[in-house]
């Protein structure tokens, strides 16, 4: 009689909520959860490696191009959680197919993990040999802005008070930079006021550029009453050496088939 009672107690204990079978099921769930976590860790760990492949780079660039009106080309992309991230040979084309930006090398000293730890302090970014060409239309809009403009119109935001911008720390080191501003609407002869009005740049900057061009004999200045009219010196502009010498001086404005351009190094 006593033995039968003990068997009944053992059977009832096994079938109870706190018995052995529920404990095994709980361990099975823990194993599955552990496997899932390990797989997630592996996927997160190899994500930078996948992005750095040619296929991954094409996917990232394709995603960017699907959201802007221009086109971005990247020859090489290298990202890492801990090591520096790097982009090489970046080119941006405007909607008309003109190259408006070319960068030989962009290097972010901190890895992805460093950026995630402190998004407001990005450390140092080095940009090597950027080449910017801005084509300005009659409204003063640049081709670079047109290239980076979203391809889909954004939904209007509800009226909310403007929030102050966060304080961002870090430095950007630019070496061997060259920029060119080209307007398609100016005449070959113009005064300083007309240039300022068309290009929307400060009057001292325009006067400084024109002064450099006069020293290089690329433009001539003729006084008409109280105004000074600057005109293209065709003979000198045709000389590639003169144009190069002007650029190396620091800044310049080039008149030609596109009528107006400003170059700064």
> Is the domain of 58 the same as that of 146?
yes
Burial zone of 96 (CB within 10 Å; 0-12 exposed, 13-18 middle, 19+ buried): exposed
What is each CA distance from 176 to 11, 34, 77, 138, in whole angstroms?
Answer: 83, 51, 21, 30
**More confident of the two residues 155 and 236:** 155
Q: Which of 107, 131, 150 is the last residue of a domain?
A: 150
Q: Within a domain: residue 167?
A: no
Q: Within a domain: residue 127?
A: yes
What is each CA distance from 161 to 16, 36, 158, in whole angstroms?
Answer: 61, 44, 10
> Is the domain of 107 the same as that of 188?
no
> Is the domain of 144 the same as that of 181?
no
> Is the domain of 128 the same as that of 208?
no
Phi and psi at residue 21, in whole multiples of 5°? -65, -50
Threshold 0.75, pTM exceeds: no
> Is the domain of 262 the same as that of 210?
yes
Q: How many domains does the chain have?
A: 2
Tokens of 119: 């998004």
pLDDT number for residue 254: 38
Residue 8's pLDDT band, with cuts at 50, 70 and 90, is low
Which residues is 90 bridged to in the sheet? Answer: 74, 103
Q: Which of 170, 85, 100, 107 is nearest to 131 (CA)?
A: 100
Q: Within a domain: residue 1?
A: no
Residue 130's pLDDT band, with cuts at 50, 70 and 90, is very high
> Is the domain of 59 the same as that of 117?
yes
pLDDT number for residue 30: 87
**More confident of the two residues 248 and 174:** 174
Q: Within a domain: residue 119?
A: yes
Q: Within a domain: residue 165?
A: no
Q: Within a domain: residue 7?
A: no
Site of tokens 């929030």: 163
Helix (H) or strand (E) holding 181: strand 178-183
Q: What angle do CA 230, 235, 237 make, to 5 degrees?
A: 65
> Is the domain of 141 the same as that of 222?
no
Give me the torsion for CA of 175, 180, 181, 186, rounded to 10°: 160
Q: Within a domain: residue 55?
A: yes
Contact present, 70 and 92 (Cβ < 8 Å): yes
Q: Which of 132, 150, 168 is the last residue of a domain?
A: 150
Q: Within a domain: residue 46?
A: no
> Is the domain of 202 the same as that of 146?
no
> Is the domain of 262 the same as that of 212?
yes
In this predicted structure, the answer to whether residue 169 has a pLDDT above a threshold of 80 is: yes
Contact present, 109 and 125 (Cβ < 8 Å): yes
pLDDT, one tens digit per residue, over 28-44 is: 888 889 999 999 999 88
Contact present, 50 and 57 (Cβ < 8 Å): no
Residue numbers of the domain that contains 61: 51-150
CB atoms within 10 A of CB 136: 23
Q: Which of 132, 99, 254 is nearest to 183 (CA)?
A: 254
> Is the domain of 119 the same as that of 184?
no
> Is the domain of 83 the same as that of 146?
yes
Residue 159's pLDDT band, with cuts at 50, 70 and 90, is low
CATH number at residue 213: 1.10.10
pLDDT number for residue 178: 84
What is d(CA 176, CA 40) in angstroms, rounded to the nearest whole number? 43
What is the bridge-based pairing of β-strands 121-136 and 71-78?
A: unpaired
What is each CA distance from 29 to 32, 37, 146, in whole angstroms?
Answer: 5, 12, 54
Residue 217's pLDDT band, with cuts at 50, 70 and 90, is confident
Phi and psi at residue 204, in whole multiples of 5°? -60, -35
């Amino acid at each position: 009689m006593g033995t039968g009672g003990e068997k009944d107690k053992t059977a009832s204990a096994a079938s109870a909520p706190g018995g052995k079978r529920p404990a095994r099921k709980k361990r099975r769930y823990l194993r599955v959860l552990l496997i899932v976590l390990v797989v997630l860790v592996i996927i997160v760990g190899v994500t930078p490696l996948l992005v750095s492949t040619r296929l991954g780079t094409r996917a990232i660039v394709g995603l960017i191009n699907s959201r802007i009106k221009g086109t971005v080309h990247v020859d090489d992309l290298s990202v890492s959680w801990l090591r520096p991230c790097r982009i090489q040979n970046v080119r941006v084309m405007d909607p008309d197919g003109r190259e408006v930006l070319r960068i030989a090398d962009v290097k972010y000293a901190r890895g992805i993990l460093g950026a995630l730890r402190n998004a407001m302090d990005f450390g140092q970014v080095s940009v090597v040999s950027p080449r910017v060409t801005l084509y300005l239309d009659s409204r003063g809009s640049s081709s670079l802005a047109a290239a980076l403009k979203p391809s889909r119109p954004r939904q209007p935001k509800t009226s909310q008070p403007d929030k102050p911008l966060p304080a961002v720390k870090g430095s950007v080191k630019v070496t061997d930079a060259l920029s060119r501003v080209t307007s398609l609407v100016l005449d070959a002869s113009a005064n300083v006021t007309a240039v300022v009005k068309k290009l929307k740049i400060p009057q001292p900057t325009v006067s400084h550029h024109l002064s450099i061009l006069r020293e290089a004999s690329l433009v001539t200045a003729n006084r008409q009453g109280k105004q000074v009219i600057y005109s293209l010196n065709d003979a000198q502009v045709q000389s590639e050496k003169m144009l190069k010498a002007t650029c190396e001086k620091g800044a310049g404005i080039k008149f030609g088939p596109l009528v107006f351009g400003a170059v700064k190094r």
